Structure 1
């Protein structure tokens, strides 16, 4: 037996579905969509004649999505055609399309109350009030989902005793009414059997109380409290009570209402171990925290998972604005240096997560103790330094380290000795990390040396070709030329020194690597800055006869050199000296970088 050359293609062909879709007579379809009643009647008679049927009822046609003429007329809002069909072909009212929708579903979704009344007053089973589509929605579900209050009222009054069940999402009619904010409809549902529902199983996730909170309607919430307070005790699938939900949806009015009616909500945890105030802190909701603390000031003492207070949670989430707000509240002062189960203060957590702006906010407060140790005997600076010493740190982590260095944060004695020992002993992964850093800097330094060396022999303006100054630069006496030569020379020699230092680091022992990098990085920064100045001087010299262009070059170059210095000063020099004077010099360039990048 031969093997097919393209077996996958053959299998695909064998699995093809050759089913033919339904089709409707084009004249009938066009007449129904356009809404011309006479053309519609003529088209129906034409179809009956062509198909050799004696009655219209026996020649019903379906569209590709199993839509009848009633579905089509309803979706286009053609009242006269719908009225005629309901009178002559009432059985079509119960027909469903491919999605399980009857014409009443379509009318309810569109909010057309006149169409809805025509359909429910037809002679066929009250217009299909209880029929469900593929999502388990009746027409009343659809009216509430799409916010059509008048349509919902019509459907309820048609049969108040209609037994409605939950849809496939587990949503009851009362939940949908609460979510839509329909107070009148909610009352109708609660006063009539039509609104009956039970809370078993997954419906706990769809409590009407949660619907009212999501719909942000205080009147519905108040109605539910008056009629059925027990429903407020239900939890969501992740253990959230109504106050948690109100906090997470940033519904301040609902938070205030719930705290007044049932303050015990504030003292209940969800499955994550969060109290509502912790959820507010995690999301950075200042107004909601104010409301909670106003009603229940002792909630500030509540601890979440791992013994973390609200300031811990805010710091862990990187919410610097709410941390700043909490620092300004005298009653929360005791939380500032509080430790969690791992011994971490809010400053430790902000450092671990790498939030430089938040770290800066905390370190500006004199009440924050910088030398507190966690359970690993680490200060915040120890953690930040560990990030940049043992891995290729992200820019965010490096800025976090800088935020601590600019205010001269201390390191622990234990960590210093441990790090020193670990560095001497070293492991292969750490050595590779240091070697990668050295190779990157070595590559850049070599590139700078090559560029500046080349620029030294291709000077602006060229050389004299005549005696007695043959071989001498034509622009030798220009100030900008002298500036170009000096800066280019210094940049080249600085980069060469960096190359030599790093070669020694590669050839020497591991303990010399840190020292080499401390020397090499600042020198490379100087070389890059001088190379930039040399470029600016050379271009300015070449175009100096066109004054406006020369000034533009000078303006652009000066601004970029300043920006380069702002970036390089914190990168190259922070941490290389313990002199207090240097921190004042580095502080403002660091702040500029920090608030420019906005992290």
Structure 2
């Protein structure tokens, strides 16, 4: 019995190591370096040494099954390629490990001279239709890589050559349209190659969508001229060409499609959205304007949820589209229209936390802020409910949304008694902690102001008189700015102290008084901040008054910031809840300032 070569290793367990293909080093080096004399010598020597009689037997393959023609084509070595094509034409049809013939490589590189040499040496013309592992012929590769001249050479070589789709489902016509080659598209349509039949068209990707994606109106026009039936194809989301043009923000394409086949505007995609809803979702004001001018009745189109174009814009937070629609009198009917959930555009903007859109809507007198949805909620009810849920970053937007609605005078709903009592009880429980946090923040700020102003009352500008006849009296007592400093500092300190006492009382007293206490505390806090700022301005102006330019600069900067403080506090805390539209309109501007500051 024979013993195994290595003890402990059974014969059937021995691995089978394959040897990769290899090319003669001299031949490989001569090919890559373009040394034609050495190349000829290596080819002849290899044939003699291996005693090959047929010419095809001299083919040597590299590790990736590359022949010398693959290598020479990759390096654009024209002389060697020409020599091989003349004397060894069978190389033209050889494939490497990726299924590429030399013609694939030349077409991908866009080298028209190499392609011409290869196609004219292929006696069978078989390499024109050969596919690689991706299902691409040389013509597919040329179009895919955007080489128009190479594509024209390949088509002219054999216009009747049958071509099928590649593995991506892309036809030659699709690739030509995607590349934007009007001449090639015309050539293919006039003398079609490939599976250009009714059955084939519905299996492939639509060339119309490729042309729209390329934003090439000439190709779109040509496709319509040659075969309008191509425009009936849909993409995998069920979208028609008009949907695609809207998504690409392609205004010229939208106009062309509406002019040629207006029915596109009344066709849904897979989720039930019409092109006008897609335009509203993307804030495309110019396209919305164009579509409404062409087909004004599309304003009545609704999504499966019963939402109109204003609903779509509000839900997506597209404030430019919302502003445009509100300016159009003919769209007034859409402003308070409800969807299947009873939600108006204002409800949807509130639900999605689009503060800027909410602010725009509440400013419009035509928007009915009292409307409730199917859950008996106004927009303010929704905002307050979502704010109390504490959804981290989303909560900040809901706080701003609540502010926008309150500034606009939005009411809460008058719900059925049972539901109202339940909601009040839940709201009271949820709001208690929220109000407590607000009070703590304001209490802290008021305490800091009281401390600062108290300190400033004794560290007065200019110091005290240490000599007779008035020891301990302020040296600048007679100065008007000093008197202004003292008055404002005193008002600021006592206002902040009143805020502190009021909020302490609110914390220790009946919780129902919390909102009232906070309502009085905020204006006083605003007054304290304003007076403290004026006191600071007066004090600094006083000590630098000898230098006129510096004193005037301090006065200008300080006055500007004090005006900003007033603009924020006065409208928000005195006008925000007013029933007068003018006051609400004025309070909208400081609200916009808050939005800008917070980056909303």
**Same fold, TM exceeding 0.5?**
yes
Shift of 1:422: 4.0
Further displaced range: 473-482 or 577-586: 577-586
Any idea what SS the aligned residue of 1:325 has?
Answer: helix
Shift of 1:292: 3.2
Shift of 1:339: 1.3
Shift of 1:230: 4.1
Contact 1:384 1:397 survives alignment (8 Å): yes
Any idea what SS the aligned residue of 1:273 has?
Answer: coil
**Partner of residue 329, structure 1:** 328
Counterpart CA distance in 1 for 2:317 and 2:221 is 35
Contact 1:28 1:43 survives alignment (8 Å): yes
**Partner of residue 243, structure 2:** 244
1:414-425 to 2 correspondences below 5 Å: 414=415, 422-424=423-425
Contact 2:355 2:397 survives alignment (8 Å): yes
**Partner of residue 303, structure 1:** 302
Contact 2:281 2:312 survives alignment (8 Å): yes
**Partner of residue 504, structure 2:** 503
1:41-440 to 2 correspondences below 5 Å: 41=37, 74=73, 79-80=78-79, 82-84=81-83, 86-87=85-86, 103-123=102-122, 126=125, 128-133=127-132, 135-192=134-191, 194-196=193-195, 206-387=205-386, 391=390, 396-414=397-415, 422-424=423-425, 426=427, 429-440=430-441
CA deviation profile, 1:546-598 (whole Å, cap 9, x unmatched): 33333333333332333333334454445455577854653443455567878
**Partner of residue 12, structure 1:** none
Contact 1:120 1:127 survives alignment (8 Å): no
Contact 1:171 1:203 survives alignment (8 Å): no
Shift of 1:303: 0.9
Shift of 1:314: 1.9
CA deviation profile, 1:147-185 (whole Å, cap 9, x unmatched): 322211111222334443333332221111122233332
Further displaced range: 406-415 or 247-256: 406-415
**Partner of residue 448, structure 2:** 447
Further displaced range: 139-148 or 274-283: 139-148
Q: 1:336 to 1:587 in 2, by over 3 A?
A: closer
Any idea what SS the aligned residue of 1:413 has?
Answer: coil
**Partner of residue 535, structure 2:** 534
Counterpart CA distance in 2 for 1:459 and 1:68 is 94
Further displaced range: 297-306 or 382-391: 382-391
Q: 1:460 to 1:109 in 2, by over 3 A?
A: farther
Counterpart CA distance in 2 for 1:177 and 1:347 is 46
Please give the TM-score of this superposition, normalised by the length of structure 2.
Answer: 0.79
- 5+ residue gaps in structure 2? 1-17
Contact 2:31 2:39 survives alignment (8 Å): no
Q: 1:580 to 1:130 in 2, by over 3 A?
A: closer
Counterpart CA distance in 2 for 1:232 and 1:508 is 73
Contact 2:572 2:590 survives alignment (8 Å): no
Q: 1:43 to 1:149 in 2, by over 3 A?
A: closer
Counterpart CA distance in 1 for 2:488 and 2:373 is 48
Counterpart CA distance in 2 for 1:205 and 1:438 is 65
Q: 1:197 to 1:581 in 2, by over 3 A?
A: closer
Contact 1:205 1:237 survives alignment (8 Å): no
Counterpart CA distance in 2 for 1:430 and 1:229 is 62
1:586 correspondence with 2:587: yes
Counterpart CA distance in 2 for 1:484 and 1:75 is 85
Counterpart CA distance in 1 for 2:421 and 2:524 is 25
Any idea what SS the aligned residue of 2:193 has?
Answer: helix
Further displaced range: 343-352 or 385-394: 385-394
Structure number, greater radius of gyration: 2
1:561-580 to 2 correspondences below 5 Å: 561-575=562-576
Contact 2:465 2:472 survives alignment (8 Å): yes
Root-mean-square deviation (CA), in Å? Answer: 4.5
Counterpart CA distance in 1 for 2:157 and 2:190 is 15
Q: 1:525 to 1:104 in 2, by over 3 A?
A: farther
Any idea what SS the aligned residue of 1:121 has?
Answer: helix
Counterpart CA distance in 2 for 1:40 and 1:486 is 101
Contact 2:355 2:400 survives alignment (8 Å): yes
Contact 2:212 2:220 survives alignment (8 Å): yes
Contact 1:566 1:590 survives alignment (8 Å): no
CA deviation profile, 1:393-434 (whole Å, cap 9, x unmatched): 756544544444444444433399967864456565543333
Any idea what SS the aligned residue of 1:347 has?
Answer: helix
Counterpart CA distance in 1 for 2:305 and 2:141 is 45
Contact 1:423 1:511 survives alignment (8 Å): no
CA deviation profile, 1:121-160 (whole Å, cap 9, x unmatched): 3458759434545544333223222332221111122233
Further displaced range: 514-523 or 579-588: 579-588
Paired positions, count: 578
Shift of 1:479: 3.4
